[in-house]
Structure 1
Amino acid sequence: MKIKGTITYVALGPGFWGIVGDDGKEYRPVNLPAKYQKEGLKVALEARPASEDMSVFMWGKAVRIVE
């Protein structure tokens, strides 16, 4: 799937990086590369569902970035 949106740091628990899609959907990448870990950065990334991810974070859909 293609994700177009903005990188954001979510301060829940220990905190994590997320993507708020241009369509308003929230994504929680399980492997966001360091080069994208910048608040407010606009991105267009290829991802796939990360069904193997178990998390206590109740924010966004877990995805794995494909590079």
Structure 2
Amino acid sequence: MRFNNSNWPHILSAMRGWLLGVMAVFPALWWAVHRIWGVPPEAVELALPLLSVLGVLAAAMVAGKRYE
């Protein structure tokens, strides 16, 4: 993937959209995993933040490839 002036605004908007979605969904998902499913906290404390960060990178890659 190449970063250039034509795809950079699309990459930024995809990353902003992902981050806004994570800010809205993350607390509810954290609560649901702990309270409803009863998953141990150690498993969730690494998995959910890791998925959030990797999701930002995935959103950037998808937008960059789409508008390359």
What TM-score, normalized to structure 1?
0.18
Higher Rg of the two aligned structures:
2
Q: Which has the higher helix share?
A: 2
Q: Which has the higher contact order (CA 8 A, sep 6+)?
A: 2
Q: Which has the higher strand share?
A: 1
